[in-house]
Amino acid sequence: MDLFEQNGALGADNVKKPLAARMRPRCLEEIVGQDKILGPGKLLRRAIEADRLNSIILFGPPGCGKTSFAEVIAAVTKRAFERTSGVISNVAELREIIRKAAYRRQQEHKETILFIDEIHRFNKSQQDVLLPHVEDGTVTLIGATTHNPLFFINTPLTSRSLIFELEPLSEDAVRQLVLRALSDKRGLAAFKVEITDDAIAHLTRMSEGDARRALNALEIAVLTTQPGADGNISLTRDIIEDSIQKKAVVYDHDEDGHYDTISAFIKSVRGSDPNAAVYWLAKMIYAGEDPRFIARRLVILASEDIGNADPRGLTVAVSAMHAVEFVGMPEARIILSQATTYLATAPKSNAAYLAVEKAIKDVEQGRTLKVPEHLKNIKVKTAGGGADKDQKYVYPHDYDGHFVEQEYVPTSTKYYLPTREGYEEVIVRRMEALQASSSGRKRTAKNGTK
């Protein structure tokens, strides 16, 4: 059956559909939040409008519009639309769909879009069934998955498809969909709904980029709220909280709640209190804070407040930042918790931070020192056969301990003053040992030269 054979006035069956299903976009202009791949002039949009679409795989989080995207493509290109799922389909069903598509192509000269939701759940044999028919164009495959297709879908299938990543919907995009649902006759226009700005803000924030979740909560709120004496249904934040089953927290993303909470979080990690740090982390996650923002702050903290007291702290923080980007929410909360507790319990030192701040201050105040002659880039072979250096430059690798005392900057100012916390205790002992070994003795290279 073609996608919109029965498209027309809403029937009784359509009214019974959930709001999210009724409000699916009908054209490219009604798709919101995916301008990165569907904006004017973008490759995918041009291919759809010119009906030159090849097989594609849509990769993105739940509720970002993958299914709606596929249905709109079928409508715009006027192709037949067959839909199945990696959860319930089998080889026999796939063969039957392909048989009908081949017949339709030969007898009716009409192309077929085969939409497979959760395609990552197909096993190898199911994916192999598709290959020849995708390749010869019997069906145009649109696969949808929440998993990275490069890891969860067979290479022969991904090599025959273009992969497009859909992003979680922004709060502005979700807000557009909510307001559209309230005014559209397919949605809730028949109800006289008044909703406060605070309620909309909470709904859009707590839906975390999932349009389906936002619209389902909105429908529940409208259908379960008694109209007032004037016949209007008033939706407050309290009602929306109940409908979406998530309480609001005092956390204005652009105001004090945001800055106060991240400040408390950083100061708790700096103060070596993992329990307080995890609480503030949980508050930010619950309030919908961008996990990438939290991860970036942890990377900064790892150098500023831990530094060389535990050099692994920066490695942990950077790894967490990349993992958060790769995994996404909600699992990213586990990664953030691991990084937070590690950094909170690590030994602390701000010596590296203070060192560069002091040096920058010197430069800013006009203390610009000349590079010593023996450190300039004048190349002559060293006696030990090492790297090319100036004749006056003494090559440390030619000496015991790979160290020799010489002037590297014309100042006696000490910028880096390591503490005795964590690994910096090792650094202090090494620097003291080097200083002691260079005092009161001649510079003698490994080969005996002076």
Domains along the chain with CATH numbers: 31-165 (3.40.50.300), 171-244 (1.10.8.60), 256-345 (1.20.272.10), 374-438 (1.10.3710)
To which H or E segment does residue 82 belong? strand 80-85
Q: What angle do CA 392, 395, 398 make, to 5 degrees?
A: 130
Confidence of residue 352 (pLDDT cuts 50, 70, 90): very high
- Residue 430 has which token pair? 């090494």
Average pLDDT, the chain: 84
Report whether pLDDT(433) > 90: no
Q: Taking a C-beta distance cutoff of 8 angstroms, is the pair 127, 153 a contact?
A: yes
Confidence of residue 196 (pLDDT cuts 50, 70, 90): very high
CA separation for the pair 163, 155 (Å, rounded) = 12
What's the Cα-to-Cα distance from 115 to each of 112, 139, 236, 331, rounded to whole Å? 10, 10, 39, 27
**What's residue 49's pLDDT?**
86
**What's residue 249's pLDDT?**
53
255 against 40, higher pLDDT = 40
**What's residue 4's pLDDT?**
38
**Max Cα distance, the chain (Å):** 102
What's the Cα-to-Cα distance from 443 to each of 44, 46, 282, rounded to whole Å? 69, 72, 58
**What's residue 146's pLDDT?**
85
Q: What's the mean pLDDT in 173-180?
A: 93
Which of 151-160, 218-227, 250-259, 359-368 is least confident? 250-259
**What's residue 175's pLDDT?**
93
CA separation for the pair 350, 425 (Å, rounded) = 14
**What's residue 1's pLDDT?**
38
Q: What's the mean pLDDT in 127-153?
A: 88
8 against 131, higher pLDDT = 131
- Residue 167 has which token pair? 């992003």
Report whether pLDDT(223) > 50: yes
What's the Cα-to-Cα distance from 322 to each of 307, 315, 325, rounded to whole Å? 20, 11, 5
In a 13 Å sphere around the CA of 434, the CA atoms on its Cβ side amount to 14
pLDDT tens-digit readout, 312-326:
999 999 999 999 988
pLDDT tens-digit readout, 55-78:
999 988 888 889 888 889 888 888
Could you write out the three-class secondary structure of 87-145?
A: CCCCHHHHHHHHHHHHHHHHHHCCCEEEEEECHHHCCHHHHHHHHHHHHCCCCEEEEEE
Task: Give backbone dihedrals phi and psi of 157, rounded to 5 degrees, phi first.
Answer: -80, -40
Task: Give 411-420 contacts, CB < 8 A, sequence gap 24+.
Answer: 411/367, 411/369, 413/358, 413/362, 415/355, 415/356, 415/358, 415/359, 416/351, 416/352, 416/355, 417/351, 417/354, 417/355, 418/308, 418/349, 418/351, 419/309, 419/349, 419/351
CA separation for the pair 132, 169 (Å, rounded) = 35
**What's residue 48's pLDDT?**
87
pLDDT tens-digit readout, 405-420:
888 888 888 888 899 9
Question: Which single residue is written with the structure tokens 């519009």?
Answer: 65
Chain mean position to CA 81: 32
CA separation for the pair 215, 220 (Å, rounded) = 9
CA separation for the pair 329, 372 (Å, rounded) = 52
3-state secondary structure (DSSP) of residue 265: helix
**What's residue 287's pLDDT?**
77
**What's residue 389's pLDDT?**
47
Report whether pLDDT(213) > 70: yes
CA separation for the pair 200, 224 (Å, rounded) = 17
Per the document, the length of the chain is 450
**What's residue 222's pLDDT?**
92
- Residue 17 has which token pair? 């559909």
Q: Taking a C-beta distance cutoff of 8 angstroms, is the pair 380, 391 a contact?
A: yes
Report whether pLDDT(376) > 70: yes
- Global pTM value: 0.54
Phi-psi region of 57 (alpha: psi -120 to 50; beta: other; left: phi over 0): beta
**What's residue 63's pLDDT?**
84
